Amino acid sequence: MPATMVSHDKLTATEAARRIACGNLTSEALVEACLARIAAREPEICAFAALDPSVALQEARACDRGPRLGALHGVPFVAKDVLDTADLPTEYGSPIYSGHRPRADAACVARLRAAGAILLGKTITCEFAGFAPGPTRNPSNLAHTPGGSSSGSAAAVADFMVPVGLGTQTGGSILRPASYCGVIGYKPSFGIVSRAGLKLASDTLDTIGLLSRSIEDIALFADVLASREPVPLEPLAPRRIGLCRTFLWDEALPETRQAVETAAERLSEHVEIRDLVLPATLHDIVATRGTIDDYERARALAYEWHHHRDRLSPHMAATVERGLAIPHARYVDALRSAASARALLPSLFAGFDLVLTPCATGEAPRGLDSTGVSTFQGLWTLLHVPAIGLPTHRGPHGLPVAIQLVAPLYADTRLLRFARWVADRLEAR
């Protein structure tokens, strides 16, 4: 294969969409390449909860025959299996819902399909987007966790099975598996993407986002999900970046510390970097997020708890019991604390366009019994701000390590433009 040629399964969604629009690539050829990759690698990776190649190819051929539907015409994607789909089973990672067939797509899936995208399959999730691991393995090293709970989407994208995946984040369920698997994870501002058709875990925290190997792909799909007119992603230089090690810095492993410090050093050659120290009033924010998560998750699973308790994993059963034991007054106090923390955001971001902060504690841990720790992501999830993880470094075992970039609430488009600028500076050396 000539050096200038890239196999179809290695294409970014942005490049694939351009080639399809120009008539230089068919959707059928693209989907066939992805399915061939899945057939070759899925027995080891175990990324998929549901897959129907015949339906995906049928939709691809229809795209090739029919009129152009939108910016994503003919481009495949996958959806985490807590998002409803009308033509594939949706089992939420639980035996309780084995064979469950919703009657409608989740709003996010429907938005992407309306723009011409093709749902390739459903990806493995931890049970009800919690912490009980599924069978998915990390493509970088099969002996290590891919993270969770968007395990399958992260692994499928990292292994070139598909260019883009939908994920969800309640604590760190997009950015952590993205970091562990070496792809880009994006959690939008809370509420930007409709959650209709999502099996809800936490009404205060759940956010639908994206995983991809390309920032441009993230921007393209994010525009469609947010009903924005897709435009080419232009890098934007921040005026000042806040280096926020957070009060969790002692939990960061050496590879994460090196990733953050090295990124800050390199970026300081181009832009002003200043330390951003979180006020002491935010030091309880991780515990606050945990209280809200446990309380709301326990009540979101009321039906499953009362009718199928014996089919919940021990981990989920313990989570529900813990949540049910939380008094309502303590939950309300946690909501108030979260609201107070968010009220500090304007002052926190004063003078900063962007925040550079740790993404995960380190590279993916060895073993498949745990999906890792979500504290570095959960902090920003509770604050509802947009965040993106960029895999910029490698750990001691050669596994990916990401940095996390955070922007003010609703500054999602600027965050993606900043991220492109940051990535360009870090990749230049």
**Residue 160: C-alpha distances to residues 14, 54, 164 (Å):** 14, 20, 9
**Number of alpha carbons in the 13 Å side-chain half-sphere of residue 265:** 7
Residues 6+ apart with CB under 8 A from 98: 91
Is 149 one of the catalytic residues? yes
Q: How many angstroms separate the CA atoms of 421 and 424, rounded? A: 5
Q: Which residue has the tokens 């955001």?
A: 345
Pairing type for strands 76-80 and 164-169 reads: parallel
Is 179 one of the catalytic residues? no
**Residue 2: C-alpha distances to residues 7, 27, 127 (Å):** 10, 22, 44
Active-site residue identified among 173, 202, 214, 374: 173
Say if CB 27 and CB 118 are below 8 A apart.
yes
Q: How many angstroms separate the CA atoms of 65 and 154, rounded? A: 31
Q: How many angstroms separate the CA atoms of 352 and 239, rounded? A: 7
Active-site residue identified among 149, 189, 313, 374: 149
Helix axes 375-382, 285-300, angle to 10 degrees: 80
Distance of CA 282 to the CA centre of its chain: 24
Q: How many angstroms separate the CA atoms of 158 and 185, rounded? A: 11
Q: Which residue has the tokens 């935010």?
A: 282
SS3 187: strand
Distance of CA 246 to the CA centre of its chain: 21
Residues 6+ apart with CB under 8 A from 343: none
Active-site residue identified among 80, 122, 187, 199: 80
Q: How many angstroms separate the CA atoms of 282 and 375, rounded? A: 13
Say if CB 221 and CB 210 are below 8 A apart.
yes
Largest CA distance in the chain: 66
Give the residue numbers marked as catalytic.
80, 149, 173
